[in-house]
Amino acid sequence: MADGAGDRMLEVVPIASGTVTVCWRPSRQARRISMRIDPASGHVIITLPRGARKADGLALLRAHSAWVAAGLSRLPPATELRHGGTVLLDGIALEIRHAPEARRGVWLEDGRLHVSGAEDFIARRVGAYLRAQAQVLLPARLRLQAEQADLRPVQVRLRDTKSRWGSCSSDGTIMLCWRLVMAPQEVQHYIIAHELAHLRHMNHGPDFWLLVDRLTPHRRQAEKWLRANGASLHRIVPA
């Protein structure tokens, strides 16, 4: 079954502990077969380089089935965005309320996130609202911190990354995961400071961490929060 992502295909595969959904990912750049667990979907992604056989990928999967089962068991449950559920914005839990007769799209009022239109579109509309908030809030907060630190990123981009909350390229472009908008502002402040520090130190050496600690007082608190809750942000299904 195709999953709509180019050449990628989804397939349910039996392993010793039950079944897993494998996403086959052909790659012209890869030099060897590799395997990882996608924390958002819970799929096992197997990358096949040119000329590799699916049978070789299945052999890798079954040889490491215990590792796969353990990794999947550690994932938090997927969170659907639905009426009566909650979603985080700046670390604050907002109840999602369906307002089918309204014509206002999605709006925040009285600590609740109200969603108009058909119930089937709640997840899509809340997801779009969160991304829109991220597009406004995260770049503005990064630019403010950069100005305060006298640092000058070239540009800011938002993506839906799976393994990193942010990155800084050698040309000064900073990338942030849009899902950070759901984390507390102290966590955002730390991640932004971390990436800004890379504008001066493209490594994680002692000077880098000294600069991070000068740019934010929230490092320890944010790292603790991300260890406890970061995976849950990736398991939110915005449709």
pLDDT value for 5: 40
Q: Alpha-carbon distance 72 to 35, whole Å? A: 13
Q: Which domains does the chain have, with CATH numbers?
A: 9-74 (no CATH), 86-237 (3.30.2010.10)
pLDDT value for 3: 40
Is 24 a residue whose pLDDT tops 70?
Answer: yes
* Helical spans, DSSP H, in the chain: 54-63, 65-74, 122-149, 185-197, 206-215, 219-234
Classify residue 205 by its DSSP letter: S
Mean pLDDT of the residues in the chain: 93
pLDDT in tens, 96-115: 999 999 988 999 999 999 99
Helix count (H) and strand count (E) of the chain? 6, 13
Q: What integer is the mean pLDDT of 40-64?
A: 93
Determine what percent of the chain is predicted with pLDDT higher than 90: 85
Residue 171 tokens read as 């040309």
Residue 116: closest CA among 97, 130, 102: 102
Q: Which long-range contacts (CB under 8 A, 24 or more apart) does 107-116 make?
A: 113/87, 113/89, 115/83
Neighbours of 25 (CB within 10 A): 19
pTM: 0.81
CA dist 215 → 17, 99, 120, 158, 210 (Å)? 46, 42, 43, 21, 9
